[in-house]
Chains A and B, each alone.
Chain A
Amino acid sequence: DQQVKQNSPSLSVQEGRISILNCDYTNSMFDYFLWYKKYPAEGPTFLISISSIKDKNEDGRFTVFLNKSAKHLSLHIVPSQPGDSAVYFCAAGPRNNAGNMLTFGGGTRLMVKP
């Protein structure tokens, strides 16, 4: 039972345009969401997070949107750059608890074409 789903295995975008990566979740106990970027042969790198009390969080070119009623979040990257080409994972953490397991989606491979 996949509690966090990334339905698009891959996405191709032209340099300078917006990249939108989507993620859906089913467990209403999740209240903290994160996006990670992963290059081959490296560990995931933390990008941005959002808690359920917000619907938007922005950090430079990266913005995460959370729609709690739809149990959906998205990551916007604008403008996209070739160096953004990587696999992006969304992850969700449960309510309360300082430090606990994250549940990851299956990832979306982003390719930004020059």
Chain B
Amino acid sequence: NAGVMQNPRHLVRRRGQEARLRCSPMKGHSHVYWYRQLPEEGLKFMVYLQKENIIDESGMPKERFSAEFPKEGPSILRIQQVVRGDSAAYFCASSPVGVRQPQHFGDGTRLSIL
């Protein structure tokens, strides 16, 4: 499967725990994006990364959320001390270098907070 891979597909956490969501971009893609979708809403941009660099994190909550895309390995979206309101579907997308390249999405991680 050469698509964007996200894992886990489903993640259940209790309030106060940490959630780690992983994303491997498509082969040849060097740009990674994270989006969040609340029920019955569209996707909301969170963060845009390239290898070892955060390019735009204007959509990330200021506290508890962080993202990285290391030189080796997948991109990680980390949510510390989760709260009920963090329950959502988190989608990762990737694109190659170049102007106006479409972003291709993974199947998402559905995060449920008990």
Contact = CB atoms under 8 A, between A and B. Distances in A.
Interface of A: 4, 6, 32, 34, 36, 41-46, 49, 51, 89, 91, 93, 96-107
A102 B45 contact: yes
A93 B97 CA distance: 15
Interface string B81-114: 0000000000101010111111111111000000
Contacts of A41: 107
A32 B95 CA distance: 15
A42 B110 CA distance: 11
Nearest to B6: A43
A104 B42 contact: yes
Contacts of A102: 33, 35, 43, 45, 103
A36 B37 CA distance: 14
Contacts of A36: 105
A101 B104 contact: no
A106 B104 CA distance: 18
Contacts of A34: 102-103
Contact of B42 (A97, A98, A107): A107
Contact of A105 (B33, B42, B107): B42
A91 B97 CA distance: 19
Given A43-B108, A45-B105, A99-B31, A89 B43 contact: yes
